Amino acid sequence: MHNGTLMLIATAAVGIVFCAACNVSGPTAPNPLLGEWDTPFGAPPFDLIQEAHFLPAFEAAMSAHADEVAAIAGDAADPSFNNTIEALEWSGELLDRTKLVFINLNEAHSSEGLQALAKEINPRLSAHQDDILLDKELFTRVRAVYDSRDGLQLTTEQHRLLDKTYKAFVRGGANLDEDAKARMREINGELASLTTQFGENLLKEMNGIALLIEDEADLAGLSESVRSAAMARATEQGHEGAWAFNLQRTSWTPFMQLSERRELREKLYRAYTQLAANGGETDNRELAAQIPALRAERALLLGYESHAAYVLEENMADTPAKVNELLEQLWAPALARAAVERDELQALAESLGDDIDFAMWDWWFYAEKLRAAKYEFDEAAVKPYFELESVRQAAFDVAGRLWGLTFEEQPEIAVWHPDVRTFEVKDDDGSHLGLFYVDYFARGSKRGGAWMENFRQQWKHNGDEVRPIIVNVCNFSKPAEGQPALLSLDEALTLFHEFGHALHGLLADGSYSTLSGTKVAQDFVELPSQMMENWALAPEVLPTYARHVETGEPIPPELVEKLQRAKQFNQGFATTEYLAASILDMDWHTLTKPVVQDAMDFEAASMERIGIIPEIVPRYRTPYFGHIFSGEYAAGYYSYVWAEVLDADGFEAFKEAGLFDPEVARSYRENILAAGGSEEPMVLYERFRGAKPSIEPLLVRRGLQ
Q: Cα(496)–Cα(473) distance, rounded to whole angstroms?
A: 12
Residue 379 has a pLDDT of 80
For residue 565, the model assigns a pLDDT of 83
Residue 6's pLDDT is 37
> Of how many residues is the chain composed?
705
646 closest CA partner among 533, 535, 503, 530: 530
Nearest to 22 by CA among 33, 11, 8: 33
Q: Is residue 10's pLDDT more than 50? A: no
Q: Would the pLDDT of 84 be above 60?
A: yes
Average pLDDT score over residue span 184-201: 96
Mean pLDDT, residues 543-571 taken together: 90
Range from 38-47, 104-113, 487-496 carrying the lowest mean pLDDT:
104-113
Higher-confidence residue of 89 and 113: namely 89
Integer angstrom CA distances of residue 359 from 210, 221, 660: 20, 19, 45
Please state, in angstroms and rounded to a whole number, the distance separating the CA atoms of residues 530 and 187: 35
Report how far residue 155's alpha carbon sits from residue 258's, in angstroms, rounded to the nearest whole number: 57
pLDDT higher than threshold 50 for residue 16: no
Q: Provide the percentage of residues in the chain whose pLDDT is more than 90.
A: 83
Is residue 60 exposed (0-12), middle (13-18) or buried (19+ Cβ within 10 Å)?
A: middle
Q: Which of 51, 68, 297, 498 is catalytic?
A: 498
Q: Report the distance separating Cα 430 and Cα 293, nearest Å.
A: 52
Top CATH class of 384-568 equals mainly alpha
Question: What pLDDT shows up at residue 18?
Answer: 31
Q: Does the pLDDT at position 13 exceed 50?
A: no
Domain residue limits, the chain: 1-133+135-171, 208-273, 384-568
List of residues 6+ apart from 208 with CB closer than 8 A:
246, 247
How deeply is 227 buried, as exposed, middle or buried, from its count of CB atoms within 10 A (0-12, 13-18, 19+)?
Answer: middle
Mean pLDDT, rounded, for 211-216? 97
- Supply the pLDDT for residue 447: 87
Local structure of 704: helix, strand or coil: coil
Distance CA 79, CA 137 (A): 11
Which residue in 64, 196, 57, 204 sits closest to 123, CA to CA?
Answer: 196
- Please determine, for residue 362, whether its predicted confidence score (pLDDT) is greater than 80: yes
Closest residue by Cα to residue 448 from 118, 117, 205, 269? 205
Domains 1-133+135-171 and 384-568 share a fold: yes
User: Residue 459 in 3-state DSSP?
Assistant: strand
- The mean per-residue pLDDT over the stretch 331-356 comes to 95
For residue 518, the model assigns a pLDDT of 97
Predicted structure pTM score: 0.91
> What's the farthest any 2 CA atoms get from each other in the chain?
84
Q: Determine whether 642 is exposed, middle or buried from the number of CB atoms within 10 Å of its CB (0-12, 13-18, 19+).
A: buried
pLDDT tens-digit series, residues 639-654: 999 999 999 999 999 9
Distance CA 172, CA 181 (A): 9
Q: What is the mean pLDDT of residues 185-208?
A: 94
Contact 469, 434 (CB under 8 A): yes
Beta-ladder partners of 471 = 437, 453
* Distance between CA atoms of residues 635 and 296, nearest Å: 12
The rounded distance, in Å, linking the Cα atoms of 305 and 295 is: 11
Confidence tier at 25 by pLDDT (50, 70, 90): very low
Q: CA–CA distance from 606 to each of 7, 171, 548, 624 (Å)?
A: 33, 29, 46, 16
Reported as a pLDDT band with limits 50, 70 and 90, residue 702 is confident
Query: Does position 27 have pLDDT exceeding 70, yes or no?
Result: no
Q: Positive or negative, the Cα torsion across 9, 14, 15, 19?
A: negative
Give the mean pLDDT of the chain.
92
Query: CB–CB of 521/681 below 8 Å?
Result: yes
* Distance in angstroms (rounded) separating the CA atoms of residues 513 and 527: 20
To the query of whether residue 313 is one of the catalytic residues in this protein, the response is no
C-beta separation of 510 from 460 below 8 A: yes
Helix (H/G/I), strand (E/B), else coil: 175: coil
The predicted model gives 376-389 an average pLDDT of: 89
pLDDT tens per residue, range 234-288: 998 899 999 999 998 889 999 999 999 999 999 999 999 999 999 999 999 999 9
Measured CA to CA in angstroms, residue 66 lies from 9, 95, 513 at distances of: 16, 10, 19
- Spatial CA neighbour of 293 closest among 631, 596, 598, 657: 596
Per-residue pLDDT at 28: 52
Q: Which CATH class is domain 1-133+135-171?
A: mainly alpha
Considering Cα of 297, then 103, then 54, then 172, what sign does the dihedral take?
negative
Residues 402-453: pLDDT tens digits?
A: 999 999 999 999 999 999 999 999 999 999 999 999 999 998 889 889 999 9
* Residue 223 to residue 525: CA distance in whole angstroms: 36
Mean per-residue pLDDT, 592-601: 97
